[in-house]
Structures are given as structure tokens and as C-alpha cells.
Amino acid sequence: MVNSLVLTFLLILSGCTGAAVSPDKVKSPILRVGYLSEDHFEQRFGNIVSLEFPNYRLEIVPIKDMIRNRLPAGEWVESNRLDLIYAPSSSFKDLIDSGSLVELDTYMKRDSFLEDAVIPSVMKLTRAYGNGNVYGLPTNFDSKVIVYNQDQFDRLKVPYLTDGMTWPELFNVIQRLDGGLSVHSSSPFHLLALMGQSEQLQMMNAQNQSVTLNNPAWNKLWDITASAVKNGGIYFDDVNENPFLTGERAAALISYDEYKVLEQNAPSFKWDMVMLPTAASLQGKTTSITADGYWAIPAGSSNPDEAWKLIQFFMSDKAAKWGYRSIYGFSTLVQQFSLNAENNGRLEAFYRGDPLVPFAQDWPDYLLGLVNDLFAKIVEGSISVDTGLQELQESITQRLNEVT
């Protein structure tokens, strides 16, 4: 009898409270989130996250010390007891290989995450890091392409540029045109590093302390680049100047940031884009597609389900619209990549190709100066490419030996 009365009372009480409240509305989880810094997180996500998840309390754990001091990523993540991390692309592979991240495929299948909503080549790159599995999802990406002035090609009766060209083929065509190729790289070093990356070449490997500059493949890239600079085929233009837009350059090597300027200041001439050149043996491949970071769940997360909800939100149309054409790169979502229908066909050059995981660019500070000094001497003719690369390799090797 007593049990019956108690049950009746509970039923009446529950009826008086109205509809059941969703557990998500009741929970007030505290999540430790690894991000560059608290200020950077607030600038990028603060308002929209607090509006979407008013009951969540986020503690931002700065990862800049891990990056700056080159600390072992897996050990750092474990010691800081993170629930969610925006893993820098430079650390992403190490975190996966050390078993520090949760595989996300199970979550994606459970919640019917629409993998097709992500640009296919970007998702391929994500899976390439994890040997076929997904350990993190990028909200934005960058890439580089060659944009060219079709009117000038037509006037001089030169065939248009195409995907799949090699660097020698590109420079041979460009030197038949007026104004050459505009490069906003701050120095020859950055252009050479980009060209090497596109052909799977490294200047050096800081991890095993090896230098790999003095070989035929690098020799060829240095030679054609120095020749193009000498012959007016390449110009290192100031980042604040845009001679391609004014028709002074026949073509330009551009990234997301330069494309935004192009989009806002439509040129008066016809133009198109092609993929970045690569080695003949790598046709159809690209190392140009890169993500700044990947949202991932550390293996020791105390709140993995709540962390996954945040990832889902960061990967949503709503969040992408919030950050459209921000400083962080193109949206990885097909529907939010570009809202400019006129340019959509051209823009495919930014994500065409089968992506390869790029090498980690981990160089000692002195390398930039050594490379730029040598390149200047080669262009002025005071030293040959063969001799210069041999001396450069010896100089870097000696420095590495002194450190060890």
C-alpha cells in the first residue's frame, strides 16, 4: 500500500514538471581544450561556442609551449589531461603514431556524420595521416595554385597552362610571356622549399640529422629556378603589391590569402587556375593541400562524448558560415568552400589531386639565411649550382655535428 502511494505521488510529481528535460541541457561539463592560446580561441570561436553550448565550461590549455619548445606531442597531451585538442598539422602524425588520439570512425558511424559533406581530397588527406582511419577533422585548409592571365596567352598564341605540368615545363611556358610569374614568397628559400615539397624532396631531416640537398633532383630545381629569375621568368613581389591583378605579370603563385584579394578585386582580364606543378612521377598527386590543425579527442579524455559534440559543431554549416573567408583558410565543407558560383569551377584547382601527407617543415633558423645567400650567388653567376649545393651540404652537416 505504501509503495503504491509513493509510486502515485512520483507519477503526479513528474506530470507536474511537464516534458522531460534533455540530458544535454542539464549537464554542465568542464572540458579541457588544447588550443594555441586562450586569446586565439576566444577570437575564433568564443561567442559562437558559448551561444551553442551555454552549459559547457571550457578550460583552454595553451599548446604554444609544446610547439615552441618542440616537446614530444604525445607526452605533452597526456600530462595535460586534455578532453579535446586542436592538433597542429606538424604534430598530428606524431600524436596518431604514439596512440595519443581516439579513432573517430566509430563516432562518425554512430551519429551518421556526413563524410560526403567534406571535400573529398581533404578527407583523403585526413585518412592518409591515420593510415585509412580518421583521428581528427579539419575545419579549414589552405592550398596553392598557379593563376594565369588567359588574355595574354591568347594574344601571344601560347597554349594555356594545364594540371600535371612539371616545374621546368611551367617555367619554359612562363618565359614566353610578358611579366613572368609573381611569387609572394618572402625569399627564394620558401619557393625552393615549396617546390621540393611538391616533389617529395627535403632539404634536411632534423630528426635524423641528415642533409639531402646535394643530389640531382635538388640540383635541377635550383638550376631552373635560378635561370628563371635571371631571365625574368620569376619575380619575388612584395606581399602588399599585386602586379598580377594589374596585368603586369602573366601568372602568379597564390594561396588562400592571395585568392581572397583576387576575389575582392576581380581583374579586368580572363583568368584561370591550375594545380601546382610536381614531378612527372607524381602526376595526379599533390602535397599542396594542408590543414592548420585537426580537432581530435585525446585517448585520456574524461569527456569524449561531449568533445565529439563540439567537433560535430565545428564541422557544421553553421560554424563554417560564421568563419567564412576568415584568416584561417577555405572551409573544408563542400557547400561552404565558396559562395561565389562564378568562380567555383576555377577554384577546384585548390583541391584537385590525390593528396600526400606533407613533410614536417622543421628547419634550424640558420638554414634560411644560408639558402638565400647561396641562391643570390648562383643568380649573379659567382658560383655554380653543383659547387654551391656541395658546399651548402658540407656547411650544414658541420653545424649539425657541432650541435651533437
Grid cell in block for residue 237: 613581389
Residue matched to cell numbers 561539463: 29
- What is the residue type of 67? I
Report percent pLDDT > 70 for the chain: 92
Q: What is the pLDDT of residue 205?
A: 77
| Least confident interval from 3-17, 30-44, 353-367 | 3-17
For 369, what's the count of Cα atoms within 13 Å in the CB-facing half-sphere? 4
pLDDT (tens digit, 9 = 90+) per residue, 65-85? 888 777 888 899 999 999 999
Burial code (b: 16+ CB inside 10 Å, e: under 16) for 45-54 equals beebbeebbe
CA distance 67 to 36: 9
What is the CB neighbour count within 10 angstroms for residue 389?
A: 20
Mean of pLDDT over the chain? 89
Q: Is 62 exposed, middle or buried (0-12, 13-18, 19+ CB in 10 A)?
A: middle
Q: What is the pLDDT of residue 404?
A: 62
| Residue 45 clears pLDDT 80, i.e. is over it | yes
Residue matched to cell numbers 595574354: 152
Extended beta strands in 194-352, E state: 204-205, 210-211, 234-236, 251-254, 271-275, 285-286, 293-296, 330-331
**256 to each of 27, 249, 289, 295, 325, how far by Cα in Å?**
39, 19, 11, 21, 9
pLDDT (tens digit, 9 = 90+) per residue, 126-152? 999 999 999 999 999 999 999 999 999
Tell me what the mean pLDDT of segment 288-297 comes to.
96
Residue matched to cell numbers 585538442: 85
Grid cell in block for residue 238: 612584395
Contact 354, 289 (CB under 8 A): no
- Where residue 40 falls among pLDDT bands split at 50, 70, 90? very high
Residue 193 CB partners (closer than 8 Å, separation 6+): 203, 361
Q: What is the pLDDT of residue 147?
A: 98
CA distance 133 to 123: 10
Choose between 302 and 209: higher pLDDT: 302
- Where residue 1 falls among pLDDT bands split at 50, 70, 90? very low
pLDDT (tens digit, 9 = 90+) per residue, 175-194? 999 999 999 976 899 999 99
Q: What is the pLDDT of residue 2?
A: 39
Q: What is the pLDDT of residue 240?
A: 87
Q: What is the pLDDT of residue 371?
A: 96
Q: What is the pLDDT of residue 308?
A: 96
CA distance 153 to 157: 6
